Structure 1
Amino acid sequence: MSASAHDSRPIIVGLDGSDSSLAALRWALHEAVTAQVPVEVIHCWEPQDFTDVLFASAHELSTASVCLLQTEVSAAVRGMAGPPAVTQSSVHGRAATALLQRSGNARMIVLGAREKRAVRDLLRGPVERTVRRHATCPVVVVDRHGRVVTGPEASAGTGDPAAGAEDPARSPG
């Protein structure tokens, strides 16, 4: 599918608070400025471990998710001249499911590369792999240094989203 100048579908970013997801957010914000499109930042929450199940209420987990979104998005757009419109979505449920549901109306999905595998990742399967296999839009994966490590072929979506990803002028400071 070819993107046009009038393609205002949002860039979707999956945020989990890791260094690579924060770099993915910054990369996506700069890409959105270039493409003149909005960004939707999604953080999914559900009980992650035994402690969450026993001691954390749904309200507490939801509140923590909203706080993470507000803090990280505010930090990422701080200092940007003319940041894109940003929507923040705190979603109860699995990240892969939420991202795949939005992929049909997205310009692209941007994720941070998983550098460490937690036990819960082994049990659920990596979000990145699931989204890359099943999304109906291009998927870009960014490492903690802001470099694109996986992206769509040049013929998909907007062309080469990696263009300029290693350009220091585009890298937020």
Structure 2
Amino acid sequence: MNHLVTSRSIVVGVDGSEASAAALRWAAEQAAALRADVVAVHAWEATAPRVAPYAPVSVRPTPAQERDAAARLLTETLRRALGPRTAGAVRAELVEGQAVRVLLNRARGALMLALGRTVHGQGDAPDVGPVGRECLRHASVPVVAVPAPGPGTVPPRAVPRPSSAGGAEGPSDQVRAARGVPLRPGAR
């Protein structure tokens, strides 16, 4: 699949969880505020190597069935997170491969990578999971871990697009705006 990720893109890892749906919603709000687009990426791997060789053939899905299931998961998560109609600035990508490698590759050159995270009740410590940990360790762009909505969780809000006299902002201001740091008056 031909992928085009620009410095005006926010890449979102989608795994079908409520946490990834929350990351999609957050990324869509950020993208609107920053005039960026969203690239929703679902990485899937063939399960054939993980199925016991003595398992009946009926248990082993074909690669086409696995791809169709992955496409449904991505489509359903997009619908659940963003509604039946997604704006033209949201692009879905289904990629076969290891999730960490796919996400790091797709995020290269993007504005940021957004991932969902859950809270597991152990002192409310957020867990980004093994894929999130590896992305945090190796990403070449900022990684945002968006919490899944839960009891008493306030969903994160998008950073409003700063008004500037000249229009365009510099890259450092884009990053600061994405992190929620107020911009200097008149900054570009």
Length-normalised TM-score, structure 2: 0.65
- Which of 65, 72, 83 pairs up with 2:77? 72
Secondary structure, counterpart of 1:106 in structure 2: coil
Residue 24 (structure 2) aligns with: 25
Residue 34 (structure 2) aligns with: 35
Secondary structure, counterpart of 2:36 in structure 1: coil
Aligned 8 A contact 1:20 1:142 in 2: yes
Residue 137 (structure 1) aligns with: 141
Aligned 8 A contact 1:22 1:72 in 2: yes
Residue 3 (structure 1) aligns with: none
Aligned 8 A contact 1:15 1:22 in 2: yes
In the alignment, is residue 110 of structure 1 matched against residue 114 of structure 2?
Answer: yes
Length-normalised TM-score, structure 1: 0.70
For structure 1, the 5+ residue unaligned runs are 1-6, 117-124, 149-154, 164-173
Change (3 A) 1:115 1:44: farther
Secondary structure, counterpart of 1:159 in structure 2: helix
Task: Give the CA deviation at 1:56.
Answer: 1.3
Aligned 8 A contact 1:44 1:94 in 2: yes
Q: Which amino acid aligns with 2:114?
A: V
Aligned 8 A contact 2:24 2:82 in 1: no
Task: Give the CA deviation at 1:75.
Answer: 3.2
Q: After superposition, where does 1:75-94 map in structure 2 within 5 Å?
A: 75-78=80-83, 83=87, 85-94=89-98
Residue 101 (structure 1) aligns with: 105
In the alignment, is residue 50 of structure 1 matched against residue 51 of structure 2?
Answer: yes
Aligned 8 A contact 1:138 1:157 in 2: no
Q: 1: CA distance between counterparts of 2:20 and 2:173? A: 22
Secondary structure, counterpart of 1:126 in structure 2: helix
Count of residues in correspondence between the two structures: 142
Residue 12 (structure 1) aligns with: 11
Aligned 8 A contact 2:113 2:144 in 1: yes
- Which of 171, 175, 186 pairs up with 1:158? 175
Q: Which has the larger radius of gyration?
A: 2
CA RMSD of aligned residues (A): 3.0
Q: After superposition, where does 1:114-125 map in structure 2 within 5 Å?
A: 114-115=118-119
Q: Which amino acid aligns with 2:175?
A: T
Secondary structure, counterpart of 1:113 in structure 2: strand
Aligned 8 A contact 1:108 1:157 in 2: no
- Higher mean alpha-carbon deviation, 65-74 vs 126-135, is at 65-74
Q: Deviations over 1:27-46 (max 9, x none)?
A: 11111111111110011111
